[in-house]
Structure 1
């Protein structure tokens, strides 16, 4: 059985790194800072998973659309 939440976290970490640390408290104690950093990592990786899914859909669209566009141009004689 697949744990979808963990899969989304692992899949979204590389893309969501810029969105991770939107709030890092400096005047809290250690447990508060670690808790907030953990929350930022989870939220950033979830954002990253949705961004990565969108990038994958867009890449598949380019891969499928380019040959079709090339065939249409070659059929019309514009190539």
Structure 2
């Protein structure tokens, strides 16, 4: 969790203490544009994710990179591997 905290504090990822599977409209637009530009429209499928838990708070959107064009981030191996996973 400390690697995630450092990535969050550096501005590389969104807030990591979340149980939400949803993304903001702004991030969906940014991701859609990236996919269209890099891979074309055939690789873009809009899907809506909803929580399966009745007790989910969903106060924050899902964990995601803040910049979809940034391929690598982090100061050490743990942070870089976690960013790659996210």
Q: Report which of the two has the higher share of helix.
A: 1
Larger Cα Rg: Structure 1 or Structure 2? Answer: 1
The structure, 1 or 2, with the larger RCO (C-alpha pairs under 8 Å, 6+ apart) is 2
TM-score range, shorter chain: under 0.3
